[in-house]
Structure 1
Amino acid sequence: MFDFKHIKGDLYGGITAGVVALPLALAFGEASGAGPIAGLWGAIITGFFAALFGGTNTQITGPTGPMVVVFAGLVGELTLERSASFTEVSGIIFAAVVLAGIFQILFGIFKVGQYIRLVPYPVISGFMSGIGVIIILLQASRIFGSEPDRGGVIAAIEAIPGAVMSPDLVATGIALLSLLIVFFWPKQVGKFIPGPLAALIIGTLLALPFDIPKLVAVLPTFETFADRLPPFTIPSIDRGVAFLVFEAAIILALLGAIDSLLTSLVADNATRTRHDSNRELIGQGIGNSIAGLFGAIPGAGATMRTMVNIKTGGMTRLSGMIHSLVLLAVVLALTPLAAEIPNAVLAGILIKVGWDIIDFRYIRRSHRGPRWDLVLMAVVLLVTVFVDLITAVGIGVFLAALGYVHAIAKDQLEAIGEERLVALTPEEKALYDAAGGRIRIFEFSGPLSFGAAADIAHRVRENVHGREVLILDFLQMPTIDVSAAYALQTILEDAEKEERHVLFADVSPQVKAQLDGLGISRLVKKGGLGLNRLEALKLASEILGTSPDAAGARGLDPAPAAG
């Protein structure tokens, strides 16, 4: 469970990752609508338990941009629908977090991790970039010292013109300074003092003499030590919001799973190790379930914090647990200092987070790749920003699958249209040539997709002019689906009308069983099934009379094929 051989590296990596996580946890907590302390507790709880039970040794878990966007959307919808404060609906909100954690545990138990990794890259790029855009839009007016009237992207966009026209100059100056620090902080200095932490300290010190919005307005006052501990939150769901909570839980679970497993892959590349994706999902689910029970916002594997941990020596799960203990010390001892942090500083830090999430690497190169992938990425990005994440991912996966099936079908149909005679043996080639162009061989390449099935019969019709015998070569077709099977039925029915013979060559037992089950085999003339390609060419030669022993072989009767 634990390896203390790397304790020094784990200590340094965990402490550094905790320092980096501090401003992000506060910023994400404030952006979520649950408050900065909920962000800190989210980083502490999810970070500790995901490291303890997860499947990626060096992963640092905590609040991330994608998770906070979904969580904040749920907070906004519920408070608006119930015309209530966050505290009044917190039981319902955190029920979604607990449920999301349970879903992630189930994903791990039922080994769903392998399927989550099948989401196409343009879809991942689109919704991650869309989340980055959302984070930037939500913080844009806060840079100028203003707050949107309500939650949501549209309200944030509407608030920008007014904020620009009447800015709070002090807040704007501090926010811009924070942006400059996080974007241009020297890498050499960043090894010791991370840019976000530097922005947090410098911006807070400069803002102390001024009256601008600070976290002191939203951080609770702790009179006793017990007040500093997270309150136990009883999850509650009523029928009126059950669908909303369930939908949010599904989105949080899927998004957290994708986010975490992508970070695990990055960690694998950096450490030359291999993570256990299903165990990682279970660890993430345990962390989020416990976080929801204690009023903490949900988390996922955080790429930047994970890389900081690795680069500064973190090697085992102890580093992730130490990162959480560092944040715990902050909550228990340094909360009064955190209360003086300006909202404008957190806005600057979050804008950098959003900027980093946008997939500029792909955007810069997208014009060199397939246009369909670029369109797919753009559609997912727009739907993510202006509709919601689950719709965006659903549309993206559907369109990606449609595009893939179309491409595969096109290749398969082109292959069917070509007669590749180079694969024939000398004996087979002699039989084929002797027929004088009256035999046509169609070779299927790989499993025939349902996308190609609709046009198979048409493609065969286009290529059988003047041919009296068709040989369908199934050597490279291990399986067949219903669509392709019924396409074969159409070919057989067309051949019957035009008095053309169809022979099946190299049919595998699996394909034979499927054709028998669907009743396609009975349409094949007697002797036309259960042949290899040489036998099919010999039989075709006998049918056409181009073989020395063709006598009596002309005109096969349509009868059920022998078992």
Structure 2
Amino acid sequence: MFNLITKRQANLKNDVLAGLTAVLTLIPEAVAFTFVAGIDPMMGLYGSFFIGLITAIFGGRTIMISGAAGSMAVVTTAFIIMFGLEYLLAAVILTGILQVLFGIFKMGKFIRLLPHPVMLGFVNGLAIVIGLAQFNQFKDNTHVVFDAQNNFFTYAGDWLSLTSPEMLTMMGLIALTMAIVHFLPKVTKAVPAPLAAIILCTLLVSFTPLQSKLVSQVALDQRTSMIEKQIIDERFDAIKDTIPYGQYDAVATQIAADRPSQAQINARWNENQQRMLDSGEKEHANPLDGSLRGEIPSLHIPTLNWDLSDSSATSALITVFFLALVLASVGLIESLMTLSLIDEITQTKGRSNKEAIAQGSGNILSGFFGGMCGCAMIGQSMICLNSGGRGRMAGISTALFMLVFIMFFPSVIEMIPVASLIGVMFMVVIATFEWTSLRLFGKVPKSEIFIIVCVSTVTVIFDLAIAVSIGVILSALVYAWNSAKHITVTVEEAEKGKTYHLGGNLFFGSITDFKAKFNPSQDPNCVAIDFSRARIFDQSAIEAVQSISEKYKKQGKTVYLRNLNSESAHLLRKANDIVEVNIENTLTA
């Protein structure tokens, strides 16, 4: 497990080495996430550079690595299929604008409202997502299939045999990597353990007979599958209007099974590259291979159809807005929760609003320069932290190394065995997962355990924004239920009347119990309700007080409210046109 030293001071050498280690795992992850989104790998790399650099320089949290993230990639999968690349880039830009506005209006403080069980559920769920994402590399023969449930073509692969030489080699390299990451820090910390593990495994695969999947193979398989899907989409679009009723899924499945030949794939790739050359996008003009070489991208303003009289164009623009809203929410939630996690680990404090503005600015630049959307990446942030990074230079060097590698030394990344990166990420999963949460069973209320499990599960099945929203709602409902159970009333009899001493919070959840405490038909003519240990919170509470007053009034009796605090008295006086009560005196505090 990672050995996190909380109060280590920033050091330039450590920051640079930590950035180098982080980028070696960030590049393959960015490539893999573009496969999820269905876009070219270079979009993920460019997006990671712009977002990573801007957040590292201007962000509100040092040593937090940002880049093309899987949580945002999964949101765009269906969108890119339906509307295409130009609208995706527009959504990336709008996402950045929304995030900047979030920071400008200082809404980062709302992260403080996240209960601890929600935070634990987020961390555990994200660790599971990171772990599950690695298992895609245990498949080969990636091909296009028809997803009948969602009604579009997507990708699938075949699991490697457990006894195959490739699988055994992968398992061996993964185990070696994990052992180095675990044991090397006990011997020396001069070199980051993940970096040492990646270098050793790369040398083993390069200079021994061992055969294992490399990063270049992942990039080639991804590009090939994307072109294959493009061809199959066009074949299906050409005949879908003529498909007989009831045979839609069967025909689509059959078209997906008829895979294009390698010659057809090569021809289509060359056509696409020529089209890019003609439009000036020279950085993408490469042969169909696993190369990650690129150039500094040029400014590109997305081309959209702004004709609002066209219903399809209007629908696309509305969808862009809602996609941007979801992306902005997911990115901010993941980033601000990662910020809080690193705050806790390092015992320092980041600035959430500043981070939101920086992240939004990075996404705006990414969209204008052909990159995908991104946010903070908890896996790479933990790797950077464990590798000794503490200052801003760690994040800056990660982004700069990214640019240097893709422009000048792409072969260094291309020759890394994927198994070594899987091993590093598995160690990230072990370090990220809050194992202490497993010891909470039987020691904290069952409701909190339920929230942790629920948020973790929803994070894995759906996405982070939905999971956190559900967690906050459940926490609020639990609080409301518990508060409602603690409303108390004690009665004091006197010659001049009867006094009800109220205790607790009067709000929508407690008004039923509150009303049940009174008996207007049997009480004397003068009744007082003492609020010195209680407080009125909402409209439901005001209506409940009015209801009690009306019941006594019908009996010819009078109710007085005593010792209201200033907030409760203010609420009642503001509602004086809809509620008639006798406020006898108030408290100053």
Alignment TM-score > 0.5, same fold: yes
Deviation at 1:98, TM superposition (A): 2.3
Write out aligned runs for 1:435-514 (5 A).
435=495, 439-445=498-504, 448-461=506-519, 469-476=526-533, 480-508=537-565, 511-514=568-571
Is it true that 1:274 corresponds to 2:331 in the alignment?
A: no
CA contact (8 A) 1:50 1:283 kept: yes
Counterparts of 1:235 and 1:44 in 2: how far apart (Å)? 20
Indicate the structure with greater strand content: 2
Q: Secondary structure at the match of 2:416?
A: coil
CA contact (8 A) 1:144 1:167 kept: no
Write the letter of the residue equivalent to 1:361: T
Write out aligned runs for 1:281-360 (5 A).
281-303=356-378, 305-306=380-381, 316-354=391-429, 356-360=431-435
* Greater Cα offset, 287-296 or 369-378: 287-296
Cα distance change on mapping 1:295 and 1:215 into 2, 3 Å: farther
Is it true that 1:170 corresponds to 2:227 in the alignment?
A: no
Q: Secondary structure at the match of 2:87?
A: helix
Q: Give structure 1 stretches of 5+ with no counterpart.
A: 1-5, 83-88, 420-431, 534-563
Deviations 1:281-305 (A, max 9, x none): 1111112222233333443334565
Equivalent in the alignment of 2:260:
none
One of 186, 191, 199 as aligned partner of 1:201: 199
Q: Secondary structure at the match of 2:159?
A: helix
CA contact (8 A) 2:22 2:384 kept: no
CA contact (8 A) 2:47 2:67 kept: yes
Q: RMSD between aligned alpha carbons?
A: 4.0
Cα distance change on mapping 1:151 and 1:138 into 2, 3 Å: farther
Equivalent in the alignment of 1:44:
49
Deviation at 1:229, TM superposition (A): 2.4
Cα distance change on mapping 1:151 and 1:299 into 2, 3 Å: farther
Cα distance change on mapping 1:404 and 1:210 into 2, 3 Å: same
Is it true that 1:530 corresponds to 2:528 in the alignment?
A: no
Write the letter of the residue equivalent to 1:440: T
Write the letter of the residue equivalent to 2:302: P
Deviations 1:236-271 (A, max 9, x none): 555444455444433332233233333333444555
Equivalent in the alignment of 1:373:
448
Equivalent in the alignment of 1:382:
457
One of 94, 101, 109 as aligned partner of 2:96: 101
Cα distance change on mapping 1:216 and 1:226 into 2, 3 Å: closer
Write out aligned runs for 1:77-96 (5 A).
77-81=78-82, 89-96=84-91
Counterparts of 1:476 and 1:325 in 2: how far apart (Å)? 60
Counterparts of 2:292 and 2:319 in 1: how far apart (Å)? 36
Is it true that 1:119 corresponds to 2:114 in the alignment?
A: yes
Q: Secondary structure at the match of 2:532?
A: strand
Equivalent in the alignment of 2:59:
54
Equivalent in the alignment of 2:29:
27
Cα distance change on mapping 1:120 and 1:475 into 2, 3 Å: same
Equivalent in the alignment of 1:551:
none
Compare CA radii of gyration and give the structure with the larger one.
1
Indicate the structure with greater helix content: 1
The TM-score with structure 2 as length reference comes to 0.71
Write the letter of the residue equivalent to 1:336: S
Counterparts of 2:143 and 2:120 in 1: how far apart (Å)? 28
Deviation at 1:49, TM superposition (A): 0.9
Deviation at 1:393, TM superposition (A): 3.0
Q: Secondary structure at the match of 2:106?
A: coil
Counterparts of 2:467 and 2:131 in 1: how far apart (Å)? 19
Counterparts of 1:168 and 1:406 in 2: how far apart (Å)? 54
CA contact (8 A) 2:178 2:424 kept: no
Counterparts of 1:346 and 1:226 in 2: how far apart (Å)? 20
CA contact (8 A) 2:98 2:325 kept: yes
Write the letter of the residue equivalent to 1:100: T
Looking at both structures, which has the greater relative contact order when contacts are Cα pairs under 8 Å and sequence separation is at least 6?
2
Deviation at 1:368, TM superposition (A): 1.9
Q: Secondary structure at the match of 2:500?
A: strand
Equivalent in the alignment of 1:425:
none
Write the letter of the residue equivalent to 1:506: N
Deviation at 1:137, TM superposition (A): 3.3
Write the letter of the residue equivalent to 1:59: I
Write the letter of the residue equivalent to 1:417: V
Deviation at 1:77, TM superposition (A): 1.5
One of 452, 467, 471 as aligned partner of 1:392: 467
Deviations 1:203-259 (A, max 9, x none): 444445577654334267869999432354543555444455444433332233233
Counterparts of 2:532 and 2:200 in 1: how far apart (Å)? 71
Write out aligned runs for 1:531-546 (5 A).
531=585
Q: Secondary structure at the match of 2:510?
A: helix
CA contact (8 A) 2:292 2:414 kept: no
Counterparts of 1:131 and 1:306 in 2: how far apart (Å)? 13
* Greater Cα offset, 108-117 or 256-265: 256-265
Counterparts of 1:377 and 1:73 in 2: how far apart (Å)? 23
* Greater Cα offset, 392-401 or 369-378: 392-401
Deviation at 1:487, TM superposition (A): 0.1
CA contact (8 A) 2:542 2:579 kept: no
Counterparts of 2:389 and 2:457 in 1: how far apart (Å)? 38
Is it true that 1:216 corresponds to 2:291 in the alignment?
A: no
Counterparts of 1:388 and 1:268 in 2: how far apart (Å)? 23
Write out aligned runs for 1:208-287 (5 A).
208=206, 213-217=213-217, 218=219, 227-236=294-303, 238-242=313-317, 244-269=319-344, 273-287=348-362
Cα distance change on mapping 1:202 and 1:174 into 2, 3 Å: farther
Counterparts of 1:532 and 1:202 in 2: how far apart (Å)? 74
Equivalent in the alignment of 1:545:
none
The TM-score with structure 1 as length reference comes to 0.74
Counterparts of 2:216 and 2:178 in 1: how far apart (Å)? 26
Deviation at 1:502, TM superposition (A): 1.9
Equivalent in the alignment of 2:482:
407
Counterparts of 1:167 and 1:305 in 2: how far apart (Å)? 29
CA contact (8 A) 1:288 1:298 kept: yes
Write out aligned runs for 1:151-166 (5 A).
163=159, 166=161
Counterparts of 2:585 and 2:190 in 1: how far apart (Å)? 73
CA contact (8 A) 1:171 1:344 kept: no
Equivalent in the alignment of 1:139:
134
Deviation at 1:469, TM superposition (A): 4.2
Cα distance change on mapping 1:244 and 1:111 into 2, 3 Å: same
Deviation at 1:458, TM superposition (A): 1.8
CA contact (8 A) 2:96 2:359 kept: yes
Q: Secondary structure at the match of 1:275?
A: coil
Counterparts of 1:515 and 1:225 in 2: how far apart (Å)? 67
Write the letter of the residue equivalent to 1:451: G
CA contact (8 A) 2:294 2:407 kept: no
Equivalent in the alignment of 1:537:
none
Cα distance change on mapping 1:322 and 1:403 into 2, 3 Å: same
CA contact (8 A) 2:93 2:363 kept: yes
Q: Secondary structure at the match of 2:529?
A: strand
